[in-house]
């Protein structure tokens, strides 16, 4: 009995010592013997034992993946700011070429219509349209809340991508030519188109002629995309939504309407083409093609593809 009492007293003392030590909080001073070298006596253990450090979450793979994807070529190349930098050469080439050739030189139809709209509103300054184009892309960048970053390394890739999409569109035209059921209408359009090319060849291919055509290609790639994709497409979507369409339905009808108007615009005015169902159909398909590129790849890719397509079919 005495032996058992002694053991109980020893266990009671041990429990008392454990209870007293266990009351020490994580931030209470530890005995000097337990402190690491160089840690002053009385200081709590550093941040490794702090509540903030315990609650902090390490970077997850999803966070790292999101950061990497935001810096990828596909993301950077479609931002409005990158589109502005990429299409700025088209702006300078077109406006500078028109000034070099003289104000009497033929201008792109979309450019003329946009300037007439500005004139009717009392804004007839010559450089206002390109300035508004630049400002519009900057405002879009701000509203999209994208980072204000341009990767110059993405620009060569965008050039190659635009050229690739232009070749695809040329292939679409060849496919339509092989599947077109109204052969006589195609031959009639081809005859008129061939006469136009012959007239251009008879006019000569001096530097002014070549320059005028290059300037025209720059204007088409730039201002037709500004008018029919950058302005008309969002306005049409907004209008159809106000009429009660769902977002998906509004997007579909806006894309189709803007593409039909894009095609019809090529037959308006004294310099417009003679209407042909074959060319109207292809230009509608091309309008849909450019609109899809605009929605999925951004303004820069759509404008660059338009320019390279005109270049391929116009000079080669």
Over the chain (316 residues), the average pLDDT of each successive run of 10 is 48 46 46 48 46 52 54 91 96 91 76 91 90 94 89 94 97 89 58 50 63 89 95 96 95 97 91 86 96 96 96 84
**CA neighbours within 13 Å on the CB side: how many for 106?**
17
Return the pLDDT at 305.
97
Q: Is 213 exposed, middle or buried (0-12, 13-18, 19+ CB in 10 A)?
A: middle
Return the pLDDT at 66.
52
Return the pLDDT at 182.
66
Return the pLDDT at 221.
93
Q: Which DSSP symbol is given to 246?
A: -
Please give the torsion angle defined by the CA atoms of residues 36, 41, 43 and 46, in that order, rounded to the nearest 10 degrees: -10
Return the pLDDT at 70.
64
Cα–Cα distance, 80 to 199 (Å, whole number): 40
SS3 category, 227: helix
In the chain, where does DSSP find H-type helix? 2-22, 51-55, 61-70, 73-76, 80-101, 109-120, 128-144, 154-179, 183-202, 207-219, 225, 232-242, 247-264, 277-297, 299-315
Contacts of 241 (CB under 8 A, 6+ apart): 247, 250
Cα–Cα distance, 288 to 294 (Å, whole number): 10
Cα–Cα distance, 43 to 93 (Å, whole number): 69
Return the pLDDT at 295.
95
Cα–Cα distance, 84 to 135 (Å, whole number): 9
Q: Phi/psi at 26 (nearest 5 deg)?
A: -65, -30
| CB count in 10 Å sphere of residue 118 | 15
Nearest CA to 134 out of 262, 300, 261, 255 is that of 300
* Rounded alpha-carbon distances, angstroms, from residue 50 to 28, 37, 53, 55, 57: 12, 19, 5, 9, 13
Return the pLDDT at 22.
46
Q: How far is CA 196 from the centre of its chain?
A: 36
Return the pLDDT at 48.
43
Cα–Cα distance, 58 to 194 (Å, whole number): 67
Contacts of 116 (CB under 8 A, 6+ apart): none
SS3 category, 30: coil
């Amino acid at each position: 009995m005495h032996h058992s009492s002694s053991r109980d007293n020893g266990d009671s003392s041990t429990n008392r010592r454990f209870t007293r030590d266990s009351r020490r909080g994580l931030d209470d001073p530890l005995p000097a013997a337990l402190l690491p070298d160089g840690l002053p006596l009385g200081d709590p253990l550093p941040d490794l034992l702090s509540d903030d450090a315990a609650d902090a979450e390490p970077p997850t793979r999803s966070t790292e993946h999101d950061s990497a994807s935001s810096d990828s070529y596909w993301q950077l190349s479609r931002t409005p700011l990158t589109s502005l930098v990429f299409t700025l050469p088209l702006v300078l080439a077109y406006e500078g070429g028109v000034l070099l050739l003289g104000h009497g030189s033929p201008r792109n139809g979309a450019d003329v219509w946009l300037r007439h709209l500005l004139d009717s509103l009392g804004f007839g300054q010559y450089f206002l349209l390109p300035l508004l184009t630049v400002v519009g892309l900057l405002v879009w960048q701000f509203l999209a809340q994208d980072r204000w970053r341009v990767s110059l390394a993405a620009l060569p890739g965008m050039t190659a991508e635009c050229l690739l999409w232009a070749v695809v569109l040329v292939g679409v035209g060849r496919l339509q030519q092989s599947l077109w059921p109204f052969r006589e209408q195609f031959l009639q359009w081809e005859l008129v188109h061939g006469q136009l090319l012959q007239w251009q060849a008879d006019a000569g291919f001096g530097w002014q002629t070549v320059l005028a055509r290059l300037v025209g290609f720059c204007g088409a790639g730039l201002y037709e995309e500004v008018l029919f994709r950058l302005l008309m497409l969002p306005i049409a979507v907004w209008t159809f939504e106000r009429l009660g369409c769902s977002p998906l339905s509004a997007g579909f009808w806006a894309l189709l309407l803007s593409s039909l108007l894009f095609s019809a615009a090529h037959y308006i005015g004294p310099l417009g083409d003679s209407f042909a169902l074959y060319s109207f159909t292809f230009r509608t398909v091309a309008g849909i093609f450019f609109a899809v590129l605009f929605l999925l790849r951004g303004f820069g890719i759509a404008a660059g593809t338009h320019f390279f397509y005109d270049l391929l079919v116009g000079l080669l």
